[in-house]
Structure 1
Amino acid sequence: MAAASFLQEMRSVGERLLLKLQALPQAEPVEIVAFSVILLFTATVLLLLLIACSCCCARCCCPERRGRKVQVQPMTSP
């Protein structure tokens, strides 16, 4: 039941977004700027999420190879 409600809510949000996009050419400049800022913010969050997931997945799938350990010897004074 909750899944159907969620799908209905997502559908209504999508329809409202489509109506806003269709009315955007006749909108006031303030509305256009506000919509652009929201769109840019959403795109930035999605991009950062994609980068974070790809970095995390790369570490899980491809563990870093560690080189040989080299012991450091203290320098002797001449």
Structure 2
Amino acid sequence: MGASNFVQEMKEVGERLLLKLQRLPQAEPVEIVAFSAIILFTATVLLLLLIACSCCCSSCCGPAARGRKSQVQPMAPR
């Protein structure tokens, strides 16, 4: 039940966004600037998320992480 509600909500958000984009050429300048700021903020957050994920994955899964293995040497008896 929760997944279908989420899909319906995303569909409604997409329809509102499409309607807003269609009305944008006739909108007032303040509304155009506000809409542009929201789009720019959303794009920035997604870009930063992508950069963070790529940096994390490259440090964990990159070739440098695989080459750091060290061999265990036996200790000398005392």
TM-score by length of 2: 0.80
Runs of 4+ with >3 A deviation:
none
Cα distance, 1:20–1:5 mapped onto 2, change above 3 Å: same
Match of 1:14 in 2: 14
User: What CA deviation, in whole Å up to 9, does each residue of 1:1-23 have, x standing for no partner?
Assistant: 10000000000000000000000
TM-score by length of 1: 0.80
Partner Cα distance (2:31, 2:56) in 1: 38
- Structure 1: stretches of 5+ with no match in the other structure: 67-78
- SS of the counterpart of 1:5? helix
The structure with more radius of gyration: 1
- Identical aligned pairs, as a percentage? 77
- Structure 2: stretches of 5+ with no match in the other structure: 69-78
Match of 2:73 in 1: none
Count of aligned positions: 66
Match of 1:4 in 2: 4
Aligned-pair Cα RMSD in Å: 1.3
- Structure with higher helix content: 2
Equivalent positions of 1:56-75 (< 5 A) are 56-62=56-62, 63=65
Q: CA deviation at 1:60?
A: 1.0
